[in-house]
A and B are shown apart, each in its own frame.
Chain A
Amino acid sequence: MPRNRVSAVLGSSVPRPRPQPFPSRSRSTLRRRAVVGVLVLLSLVLITISFRAGSGGAVHRVEGAGATVLRPFEVAAERVARPFRDGYGYFASLVHVKRENSRLKQQVNDLRQKELLGQSALEQNRVLRSQLKFIDSPRFPVDYTPVNTRIISWASEFVQQVVIAAGSDSGIKQDTPIVTNYGLVGRVTDVTGSAAQVTLLTDENSAVPALDQTTSANGLVRHGQGQGSLVLDFVRKEANVKEGDVIVTAGTQSKQYPSLFPGGIPIGVVTHVGQSDTALYKQIQIDPYVDFSALDAVTALITNKRTPKGP
């Protein structure tokens, strides 16, 4: 540009043109807002459909397809991570190993005595049942076929749910009880051909009819205040529940509300019993046998025996 032309422009009182937005920039802003708007709308529509559909319909099939695609990758990732997790668990457990060893030795002695008593009671029970020709509902564990499977993914910290690597193809159905060697874990709340969602006992929506093995006091096991803790609720004040009592599933006790779980599955041990003048029931805290933060392999209990239903 020639020098004199610049000075002429600077010296004059030419009005400045109104700044116009770059067309490409305004277009890009519009595009950006449109994209995010569409995505948010789509998400809200999906939430609505998913929420209304429950555990059926097209959305469930899409979820099932997604879970099937992810499954092999999740299994592979879990297998790769397992040695590291086991290694961490090994070193972490060394901290308490001595104290735990002496506690376990004491426990072994107690259990040895109880086992002897239990064996004779079991035999006596078997004989009496056969003499009475007793008609029973499915019993744990004799009337159940175990399907052993692995946990392949975990939900967020909000919900106590896991996904297992076995589904309806292996005979798992909605409400199938899930256990480990230690005790009750939860129940199946959603199932596809190759995977199933398990809602843990520690979830807010879980509730299991249970009883004190020593006193037969009935109650409902629900999630407690802390993460992974449980409480036995609705136990009458007259019931003589003590610390150290074992809590097991009660099975079906009311024909109006049949239990989803067979009776006799261990849940945990009573750690605290309290009661106040104002509360209607005892406040009982339970230490679950299952470590819900370190679940790895679980067993689905499948039965072909019909669960009796009230007329």
Chain B
Amino acid sequence: MPADIAKAAGLLFFVVVVQLSVMANVDILGGHPNLVLVTLVSVSLLRGAVFGAVAGFCVGLLADTGVFGTLGFTALLLTLAGYWTGRYGETTGRDRAHAPLLSIAVITVLYQISALVLRYMLGEPAPARHIFAALAPTVLLNLILTVPIYALTRRLLRPREWVTREVRLLG
């Protein structure tokens, strides 16, 4: 478990830095790929709800401090994203090949809409038209990112069933 935490922390820190300094300015067909969200969903699917929620909170806090944003804003959204994906991974999504893609598509839509609503509630700029116009390309870009990111995360954080199976075979 501590090894898992260290690996996930390293990966997520790297991803936050890349997202803030490189990916945040990427605009392809009006969409903005969210590397942090994709990686968090991958980690949560493999390590469950509690791990996902805590990882989401820490990553969100880091992202908020990095851009002088409202502290806790991204943390709240990513906590819920990590928790929901983790629960899906623990229950229905277990052993399903389409689970990462489905999770990313749903979470991206929910994340964008929740962020929009939250911004509106806080009285900050909430350009709904722009967000809805960019929703489809953003989902598409995140889905494209999911394939390599999930494979990398799976390599780094091997699914627990594999470890148990290997122990059982060796035992």
Task: Report A's interface with B, CB cutoff 8 A.
Answer: 31-32, 35-36, 39-40, 42-47, 49-51, 59, 62-63, 65-67, 70, 73-75, 77-78, 81, 85, 152-159, 161, 163, 190, 197, 203-205, 227, 293, 295
Contact = CB atoms under 8 A, between A and B. Distances in A.
Contact of B71 (A62, A73, A156, A157): A62
B70 A39 contact: no
B50 interface: yes
A203 B125 contact: yes
Residue of B25, B76, B80, B125 with most partner-chain A CB within 10 A: B25
A154 B68 contact: no
A167 B157 CA distance: 39
Given A40-B79, A47-B71, A157-B32, A77 B62 contact: no
Contact of A63 (B13, B71, B127): B71
Interface string B25-55: 1010000100000000000000001100110
Given A66-B66, A163-B66, A204-B127, A39 B72 contact: no
Contacts of B72: 42-47, 49-50
Interface stretch (B15-23, B101-109, B140-148, B160-168): B15-23
Given A50-B70, A78-B21, A62 B125 contact: no
Given A35-B53, A63-B68, A70-B62, A81 B79 contact: no
B66 A153 contact: yes
A158 B119 contact: yes
Contacts of A78: 21-22
Contact of A66 (B25, B57, B65): B65
Contacts of A81: 18, 21-22
B88 interface: no
Nearest to A82: B22
Contacts of A159: 69, 124-125
Interface of B: 13, 16-18, 20-22, 24-25, 27, 32, 49-50, 53-54, 56-57, 60-62, 64-73, 75-76, 79-80, 83, 115-116, 119, 122, 124-127, 130-131, 134
Contacts of A163: 66-68
A187 to B, nearest CB: 14
10 contacts: A35-B50, A36-B79, A42-B72, A42-B75, A63-B64, A70-B17, A77-B22, A155-B68, A157-B134, A227-B130
Contacts of A155: 24, 67-69
Given A46-B61, A66-B65, 13 more contacts: A36-B80, A43-B79, A49-B72, A50-B71, A65-B65, A70-B65, A74-B17, A77-B18, A81-B22, A153-B21, A157-B130, A158-B115, A197-B67
A153 B65 CA distance: 11
Interface of A, secondary structure class, is helix
Contacts of B76: 40, 43-44, 47
Nearest to A197: B68
A190 to B, nearest CB: 5
A157 B57 CA distance: 20
Contacts of B67: 153-156, 161, 163, 197
Contacts of A47: 70-73, 76, 122
Contact of B125 (A44, A50, A154, A205): A205
A36 B21 contact: no
Contacts of B49: 32, 36
A75 B66 CA distance: 12
Residue of A73, A157, A159, A203 with most partner-chain B CB within 10 A: A157
A70 B64 CA distance: 11
A63 B65 contact: yes
Given A36-B49, A47-B71, A73-B17, A42 B66 contact: no
Contact of A74 (B53, B66, B79): B66
B24 A293 contact: no
A231 to B, nearest CB: 15
A158 B66 contact: no
Contacts of B69: 155-156, 159
